[in-house]
DNA sequence: ATCCGATTCCCGTTGAATGGGAAGGACCGT
DNA sequence: ACGGTCCTTCCCATTCAACGGGAATCGGAT
């Protein structure tokens, strides 16, 4: 941004710095951040110092750096994700009480599945998804719902593009995937056995806002052996409840 | 940041732009943002365009601007707040099931109470707190817990500074407040009737991490007439559970 | 004592950022 | 149709914030 041989904006660099943090890397030294964000050492120190100054980053007991509560606050307080989550949470709890495994809420973001909320039972099975984590659209049950109801242009791009296998059972054949998506639209529910992890089955339904547009996917992750019928029923009624809560918001 | 007569860094301006969003103002025109962030029109348009480019902001159907999912993702995925929240949520649900009013989790941030999570019963009473919302430390029950266990330097500053009344019953007398704080440390719980809203009573307990440091406050908001004993007991056992969950995290 | 890495300070360079102004476009009331 | 208001886009000369190399300092490990 500013000057000298870089060719990037300050904004881009800030994003690159924030990107270096994830669930496995919540605290880092400034030098580490610089390396991962591909910034010269002195630049990294200056940028990080600026972000700390503004509260977007914080320093722990002298030394390392972590994401600041101020960033968390600014990102959430005006966000649509929070509204959606708040509307959905009570219904997710109800699903959770019945199904006793993993219940999660996901949205479409930049051609991927982004998980917004997740409730887990203490004794629930495997599940690699995380809040604020991503998965490809064609792999997870939530993603299939979002893709099936997403813009046609995106659907065609995904069907054309390379379909990487997340697990051995991931659907990677475009023709088959197209049939699966048609099925999702027809049935209003998708059952995806083993497409993310061999031992789990995902079940997902669409969540619609007032006018019927699909804004999210609600899903549960079950062990492969569990029957999916009751879960699908619980999801369907929860999705209806969330839609009502979203619709009734504005007078 | 860059040049010309401004004297601020780009980073500061970005924060100012993000600050213009809140729960009552989730979408704005670029011109509005510029006005609220005190930026010249052309600068506001350029900065917002840059943030949209990076995904930190998004444009809705041609025109207005809202916080981007990408910002939400970057702020949450490496954040300590998310860890704390995830550890606390199951226990909060248990409290919620028993008390059936509002259950909330708050942390100390920059001399204020910042609310990180909140569960509400459909038929619960009044409650002005919001997720990612703030209240003064001396007013809410959560704040009293955080202040009582916070750094002495902060406590003295708050006791010295002006103690604004949020409601008619807010404790604004330094001597009385000092006694209240001592009581919190002694009893491990605080009951604050009407200090935020005249019709409600807050009950709060400290949440400690592994070594015993207080990292958050867990609270419920009840109608004034409700007895506080059962709530206090539920909170205490939930706080113990959260502490265990936080401590057992690292091997 | 010696290395190695993180961090801080210095400083000359420079182009990204700046912001005023003009022009285009959408909407509204008259 | 027409004038007015407001949002947005484009242009462009100015300039200082940002840049990044390098050297010095600090701190822990060996």
What is the per-residue pLDDT across A80-133, written as a single tens digit (0 to 9) for each? 999 999 999 999 999 999 999 999 999 999 999 999 999 998 888 888 999 999
What is d(CA B107, CA B93) in angstroms, rounded to the nearest whole number?
A: 18
A50/B12 Cα distance (integer angstroms): 8
Which regions of chain A carry the CATH code 1.10.10.10?
A: 10-75
Q: Hey, what are B96's tokens?
A: 């919620």
Q: Residue A251: what pLDDT? A: 31
Coil/strand/helix, residue A202:
strand
Å separating the CA of residue B61 from the C1' of nucleotide D18: 35
pLDDT at residue B126, as a whole number:
80
Q: Cβ–Cβ of A67/B51 closer than 8 Å? A: no
> Residue B127 — pLDDT band, cuts 50, 70, 90?
confident
Give pLDDT, residue A63: 82
pLDDT score of A57 = 97
The residue behind tokens 């209003």 is: A188
C-beta of residue A98 within 8 angstroms of C-beta of residue A81: no
Residue numbers in B near A74 (CB within 8 A): 15, 18-19, 21, 71, 75
CA distance A131 to A51: 24
- Lowest mean pLDDT, pick from A136-140, B37-41, B119-123, B247-251: B247-251
Provide the percentage of residues in chain A whose pLDDT is more than 90.
87
Is residue A250 pLDDT above 80, yes or no?
Answer: no
Residue B177 touches chain A, beta carbons under 8 Å: no
Tokens of B228: 């506080």
**pLDDT at site B45:** 95
Handedness of CA A93, B203, B155, B172 (dihedral sign): positive
Residue A67 β-bridge partners: A57
Confidence class of residue A70 from pLDDT cuts 50, 70 and 90? very high
Structure token digits, residue A240: 């209806």
Cα(B130)–Cα(B201) distance, integer angstroms:
16
* Helix, coil or strand: residue B217: strand
Residue A1 has pLDDT above 80, yes or no: no
pLDDT at B2 over 60: no
Output b/e per residue, B113-126; b: 16+ Cβ within 10 A: bbbbbbbbeeebbe
Polymer length of chain A: 251
pLDDT band of residue B250 (cuts 50, 70, 90) is very low
What digits encode the pLDDT tens for the residues B185-220? Answer: 999 999 999 999 999 999 999 999 878 899 999 999
A77: chain B residues, CB-CB within 8 Å:
21-23, 130-133
Rounded to the nearest 10°, the torsion over CA A63, A69, A71, A77 is 180
Instruction: Check CB contact under 8 Å for A21 and B77.
Output: yes
User: Residues B11, A51: contact at Cβ < 8 Å?
Assistant: yes
Taking 50 as the threshold, does the pLDDT of residue B169 lie above it? yes
Contact B12, A54 (CB under 8 A): yes
Structure tokens at A57: 């980053």
Within chain B, strands assigned E span 27-28, 57-59, 65-67, 102-109, 112-120, 134-136, 190-193, 200-208, 214-223
Instruction: Say if residues A57 and A71 touch (Cβ distance below 8 Å).
Output: yes
Per DSSP, what are the bridge partners of residue B214?
B208
Asked if B1 and A10 touch (Cβ cutoff 8 Å), the reply is yes
User: B75 at the A interface (CB within 8 A)?
Assistant: yes
Residue A58 CB neighbour total at 10 angstroms: 18
- Degrees, nearest 5: CA angle B116-A213-A197: 65
Length of chain B: 251
Asked if residue A43 has pLDDT above 90, the reply is: yes
| C-beta separation of B219 from B139 below 8 A | no
User: Taking the CA atoms of chain B, what radius of gyration do you get in angstroms?
Assistant: 20
| Nucleotide lying nearest to A34, CA to C1' measure | C6
Quote the longest CA-to-CA distance of chain B.
Answer: 62
Which carries the bigger pLDDT value, residue A62 or residue A128?
A: A128
Separation of A108 CA and C12 C1' (Å): 48
**Burial degree of B38 (CB within 10 A; 0-12, 13-18, 19+):** exposed
**Whole-angstrom Cα distance, residue B144 to residue A12?**
40
Does B6 score more than 90 pLDDT? no
Cite the residue boundaries of each domain of chain A with CATH code 3.30.450.40: 80-245
Tokens (6 digits) for B215: 């990292």
> pLDDT of B20-57, one tens digit each?
999 999 999 999 999 999 999 999 999 999 999 999 99
Q: What's the rounded Cα separation, in Å, for the pair B79 and A246?
A: 28
pLDDT of residue A5: 57
Q: What is the DSSP letter of A63?
A: S
How far is it between the farthest Cα atoms of chain A?
62
Radius of gyration over every alpha carbon of chain A, rounded to an integer in angstroms: 20
Q: How far is the CA of B31 from the C1' of D15 (A)?
A: 25
d(CA B251, CA A48): 30
Q: What is the percent of chain A with per-residue pLDDT over 70, rounded to a whole number?
A: 96
pLDDT above 90: residue A223: yes
Which residues from B are below 8 Å from A69, CB to CB? 80-81, 107, 109-110, 114
Q: Which of A57-66, A240-249, B134-143 has the lowest mean pLDDT?
A: A240-249
For the segment(s) A80-245, the CATH number from 3.30.450.40, 3.30.70.20, 3.40.50.300, 3.50.50.60 is 3.30.450.40
- CATH number, domain A10-75: 1.10.10.10
- What count of Cα atoms within 13 Å lies in the side-chain half-sphere of residue B114? 19
pLDDT at B1 over 50: no
């Amino acid at each position: 941004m500013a000057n000298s041989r870089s060719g990037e904006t300050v904004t881009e660099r800030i994003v690159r710095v924030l990107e270096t943090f994830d669930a496995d890397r919540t605290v880092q030294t400034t030098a580490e951040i610089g390396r991962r964000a591909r910034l010269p050492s002195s630049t990294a120190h200056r940028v990080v110092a600026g972000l700390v100054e503004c509260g977007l980053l914080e320093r722990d007991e002298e030394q390392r750096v972590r994401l600041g509560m101020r960033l968390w606050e600014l990102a959430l307080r005006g966000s649509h994700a929070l509204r959606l989550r708040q509307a959905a949470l009570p219904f997710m709890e109800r699903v959770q009480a019945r199904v006793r495994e993993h219940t999660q809420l996901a949205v479409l973001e930049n051609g991927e599945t982004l998980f917004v909320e997740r409730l887990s039972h203490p004794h629930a099975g495997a599940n690699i998804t995380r809040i604020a984590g991503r998965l490809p659209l064609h792999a997870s049950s939530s993603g299939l719902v979002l893709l099936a109801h997403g813009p046609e242009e995106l659907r065609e791009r995904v069907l054309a593009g390379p379909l990487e296998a997340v697990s051995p059972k991931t659907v990677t054949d475009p023709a088959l995937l197209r049939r699966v998506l048609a099925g999702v639209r027809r049935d209003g529910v998708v059952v995806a056995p083993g497409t993310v992890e061999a031992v789990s089955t995902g079940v997902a339904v669409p969540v619609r806002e007032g006018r019927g547009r699909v804004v999210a996917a609600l899903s549960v992750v079950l062990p492969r052996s569990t029957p999916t019928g009751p879960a699908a029923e619980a999801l369907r009624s929860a999705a209806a409840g969330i839609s009502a809560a979203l619709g009734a918001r504005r007078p």
